[in-house]
């Protein structure tokens, strides 16, 4: 999940929402309890000291291997280290973060190549860390700009009406999916639901109903930027699994740069990190002669562990079932194949100035926030299939984080076309010319664009290519497509792993239902699997909740490539941290009501 600023999940909905049943059934440690930043920084220092000075010898505590140094692996390492475990992280790349990664534009700003949203503001540890690291976030609470199929801007009032209608139908789809999932045909799509609803929301008695219906259905296609795939393939039966944590979704305007370093600090300080070490085979206990879990790498290394946590992306698991010995249980293998894997990609295009924020000669207001170009008929050569295009502009973000850049989101066939074409071009200049030309029909329709003005000439780009990244599993994040029969059970199967073989799974695809496909979900999954590993290996010890997330410190990530340029990272300073919002009485009452309601009414709905 990546694009869109939105909010669902009212207190009433939570009494019947399956995602909240699942989340409340998880250990309470999923809800991070932050002190003030000053106490948090002190606590972080104490925790780091304990991990270093009191870690027992190898013979006293198990040695846990973690495959992958994304948010799931880093958080898992953090929790295990704080409980005294010996931890080795095996990372195929020469950096930490996995699908959380940044590149620097020529204008000096970091931009996220992977995730760049924080999904939900209620009890979200990622938002808490954004506050501690003074990472700017943005809600983009501006009216959306919609460009119709003929390239003309939809009047503001009409655009607002379409947007409200779309989100009302989305929320209705969540409600129907949540309540009637067992009765919904697995072949029915979210687009099918939209087609039914537009007939009701826009009756034939309404003037211009045909064009309005067509426009709304085109706008619905933009939902694909959220799930990373076309809405015509989004399962309605399991659409409820796409619902997020309550509260607003926030764009990480300052990038995940500092949050990553905060999450990584405990592992950098206390774990053995093996960079550029790619796993080829994983052997469970029953396949080794010494009751350990064994990892073989492509360069011939053999590493033995007491337990192994595999945090590779779902796409990698789907493509490498033969890496596991013995083979994974049939139900688990099937679950991995059942859950979809998205194709969201991003293209950043920078300009000398944010021309779209200026006064337009034709009287159009400045553009801020999101813009959608719907099913364009005016780009027959480069876009014959009339793919929607969507952008979020970064120029209106307050200084110092704003910059004159447009961020385009693509998915599905358009992502495949763009990444394949860019990949095929031999020079950077050719790649640049292709992307500038491809997106020009869209950005040239923004307010204040002038063909001959230097401020309107693109100067740089950054484009992603997760679809051709084998380590990312050739995609972006999990989603739920048509044909899915037991999506919730599939997630639970992956979340369980194969503990009898000493193999555990973590990542955004094993997260609590409320956070599937998100950074928060990956983080929580690492925390949860660390807790379960601890319970299994140290059954006589009291099972305390995992420690809260790290609260502060300075972290310079090691660079395993000596030729790479290092960036100076002065990151987490106590005097820059903002105080965490107080917990309101109303919020407490709402949670108590929700818990009581669930206990009384739907206790039997909890998964074991």
**pLDDT per position as a tens digit, 227-249:** 999 999 999 999 999 998 999 99
Look at the block and give the residue holding tokens 């079932």: 321
The residue with greater pLDDT, 86 or 28, is 86
CA distances from 201 to 103, 143, 166, 403, 460 (A): 44, 21, 10, 39, 43
Q: What proportion of the chain, given as a percentage, has pLDDT over 90?
A: 75
Give the strands of the sheet with 405-410, arranged side by side: 145-147, 370-373, 389-393, 405-410, 345-350, 460-463
pLDDT of residue 97: 98
Confidence band of 30 (pLDDT split at 50, 70, 90): very low
Mean pLDDT confidence for 272-289: 98
For 602, the token pair is: 């739907």
Contact 355, 406 (CB under 8 A): no
pLDDT at 95 over 80: yes
Mean pLDDT confidence for 303-320: 98
- Choose the weakest-confidence range: 58-72, 304-318, 327-341: 58-72
Mean pLDDT confidence for 541-565: 45
Q: Percent helix, strand, coil in the chain (nearest 5)? A: 40, 15, 45
pLDDT of residue 50: 31
CA 189 – CA 217 distance, rounded (Å): 13
Contacts of 368 (CB under 8 A, 6+ apart): 140, 142, 357, 393, 396
The residue with greater pLDDT, 389 or 601, is 389
Confidence band of 61 (pLDDT split at 50, 70, 90): confident
Confidence band of 132 (pLDDT split at 50, 70, 90): very high
Mean pLDDT confidence for 502-513: 98
CB atoms within 10 A of CB 394: 23
CA 484 – CA 91 distance, rounded (Å): 32
pLDDT at 89 over 70: yes
pLDDT tens column, 413-454 = 999 999 999 999 999 999 999 999 999 999 999 999 999 999
Look at the block and give the residue holding tokens 């793919």: 387
Mean pLDDT confidence for 6-13: 44
pLDDT at 275 over 70: yes
pLDDT at 584 over 50: no
Contacts of 565 (CB under 8 A, 6+ apart): none
pLDDT at 200 over 70: yes
Look at the block and give the residue holding tokens 């106590």: 574
Mean pLDDT confidence for 535-548: 66
Q: 109 has which bridge partners?
A: none
CA 372 – CA 360 distance, rounded (Å): 19
Mean pLDDT confidence for 366-387: 96
Q: Which of 97, 99, 78, 77 is nearest to 89 (CA)?
A: 77
Average pLDDT, the chain: 84
pLDDT of residue 2: 61
Phi, psi of 406 (to 5 degrees): -105, 130
pLDDT of residue 363: 85
CA 50 – CA 319 distance, rounded (Å): 40
Contact 141, 148 (CB under 8 A): no
CA distances from 120 to 99, 208, 520 (A): 19, 37, 9
pLDDT tens column, 115-127 = 999 999 999 999 9
Q: 89 has which bridge partners?
A: 66, 273
pLDDT at 568 over 90: no
CA 21 – CA 607 distance, rounded (Å): 8
Q: 297 has which bridge partners?
A: 279
CA 584 – CA 594 distance, rounded (Å): 16
pLDDT of residue 446: 97
- Tell me the torsion sign for CA atoms 443, 444, 448, 453: positive
539: buried, middle or exposed (CB in 10 Å: 19+, 13-18, 0-12)?
Answer: exposed
CB atoms within 10 A of CB 306: 20
pLDDT at 12 over 90: no
pLDDT tens column, 464-496 = 999 999 999 999 999 999 999 999 999 999 999
pLDDT at 36 over 80: no
Quickly list DSSP for 382-421. Answer: T-TT---EEEEE-TTSPTTT--SEEEEEE-HHHHHHHHHH
Residue 249 host element (H or E): strand 249-251
Q: Which of 263, 256, 261 is nearest to 116 (CA)?
A: 256
The residue with greater pLDDT, 595 or 215, is 215
For 161, the token pair is: 């009406």
By three-state DSSP, how is residue 515 classified? Answer: helix
Q: Which of 429, 462, 450, 254 is nearest to 353 (CA)?
A: 450
- Choose the weakest-confidence range: 105-114, 167-176, 250-259, 503-512: 105-114
pLDDT tens column, 348-360 = 999 999 999 998 8
pLDDT of residue 144: 87
pLDDT at 594 over 80: no
By three-state DSSP, how is residue 127 classified? Answer: helix
pLDDT of residue 329: 98
Could you tell me the pTM of the whole model?
A: 0.84
Residue 595 host element (H or E): helix 585-602
pLDDT of residue 548: 58
CB atoms within 10 A of CB 585: 8
By three-state DSSP, how is residue 3 classified? Answer: coil
Rg (CA), the chain: 24
Contact 537, 307 (CB under 8 A): yes
pLDDT of residue 564: 32
pLDDT at 32 over 90: no
């Amino acid at each position: 999940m990546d694009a869109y600023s939105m909010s669902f999940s009212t207190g009433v909905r939570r009494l019947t929402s399956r995602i909240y049943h699942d989340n409340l059934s998880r250990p309470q440690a999923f809800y991070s309890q932050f002190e003030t930043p000053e106490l948090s920084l002190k606590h972080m220092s104490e925790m780091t000291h304990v991990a270093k000075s009191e870690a027992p010898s190898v013979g006293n505590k198990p040695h846990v291997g973690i495959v992958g140094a994304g948010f799931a692996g880093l958080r898992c390492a953090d929790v295990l280290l704080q409980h005294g475990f010996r931890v080795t992280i095996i990372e195929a790349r020469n950096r930490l973060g996995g699908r959380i990664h940044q590149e620097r534009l020529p204008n000096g700003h970091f931009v996220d190549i992977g995730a760049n949203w924080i999904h939900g503001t209620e009890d979200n540890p990622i938002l808490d860390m954004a506050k501690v690291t003074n990472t700017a976030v943005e809600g983009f609470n501006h009216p959306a700009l919609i460009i119709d199929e003929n390239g003309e801007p939809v009047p503001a009032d009409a655009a607002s009406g379409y947007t409200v209608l779309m989100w009302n139908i989305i929320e209705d789809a969540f409600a129907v999916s949540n309540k009637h999932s067992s009765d919904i045909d697995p072949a029915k799509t979210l687009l099918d639901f939209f087609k039914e609803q537009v007939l009701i929301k826009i009756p034939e008695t309404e003037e211009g109903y045909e064009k309005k219906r067509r426009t709304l259905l085109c706008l619905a296609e933009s939902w694909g930027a959220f799930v990373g795939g076309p809405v015509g393939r989004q399962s309605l039966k399991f659409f409820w699994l796409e619902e997020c944590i309550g509260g607003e979704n926030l764009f990480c305007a300052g990038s995940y740069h500092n949050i990553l370093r905060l999450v990584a600090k405990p592992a950098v300080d206390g774990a053995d990190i093996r960079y550029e070490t790619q796993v080829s085979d994983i052997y469970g206990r029953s396949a080794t002669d010494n009751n350990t879990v064994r990892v073989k790498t492509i360069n011939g290394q053999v590493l033995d562990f007491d337990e192994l946590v595999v945090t590779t992306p779902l796409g990698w698991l789907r493509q490498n079932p033969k890496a596991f010995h013995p083979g994974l249980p049939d139900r688990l293998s099937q679950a991995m194949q059942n859950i979809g894997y998205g194709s969201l990609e991003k293209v950043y295009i920078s300009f000398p100035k944010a021309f779209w924020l200026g006064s337009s000669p034709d009287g159009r207001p400045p553009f801020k926030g999101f813009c959608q170009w719907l099913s364009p008929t005016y780009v027959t050569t480069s876009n014959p299939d009339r793919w929607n295009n969507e952008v979020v502009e970064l120029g209106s973000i307050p200084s110092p984080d704003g910059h004159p850049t447009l961020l385009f989101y693509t998915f599905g066939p358009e992502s495949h076309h763009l990444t394949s074409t860019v990949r095929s071009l031999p020079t950077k200049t050719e790649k640049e010319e292709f992307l500038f030309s491809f997106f020009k029909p869209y950005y040239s329709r923004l307010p204040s664009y002038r063909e001959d003005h230097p401020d309107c000439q693109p100067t740089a780009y950054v484009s992603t290519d997760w679809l051709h990244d084998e380590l990312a599993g050739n995609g972006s994040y999990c989603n739920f497509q048509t044909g899915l029969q037991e999506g919730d059970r599939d997630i639970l199967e992956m979340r369980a792993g194969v503990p009898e073989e000493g193999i555990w799974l973590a990542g955004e695809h094993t997260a609590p239902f409320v956070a599937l496909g998100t950074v928060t979900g990956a983080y929580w999954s690492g925390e949860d699997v660390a807790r379960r590993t601890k319970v299994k290996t140290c059954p006589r010890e009291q099972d305390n909740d995992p420690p809260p997330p790290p609260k502060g410190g300075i972290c310079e990530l090691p660079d395993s490539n000596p030729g790479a340029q290092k960036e100076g990272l002065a990151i987490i300073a106590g005097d820059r941290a903002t105080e965490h919002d107080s917990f309101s009485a109303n919020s407490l009452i709402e949670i108590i009501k929700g818990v009581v309601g669930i206990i009384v009414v739907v206790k039997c709905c909890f998964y074991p």
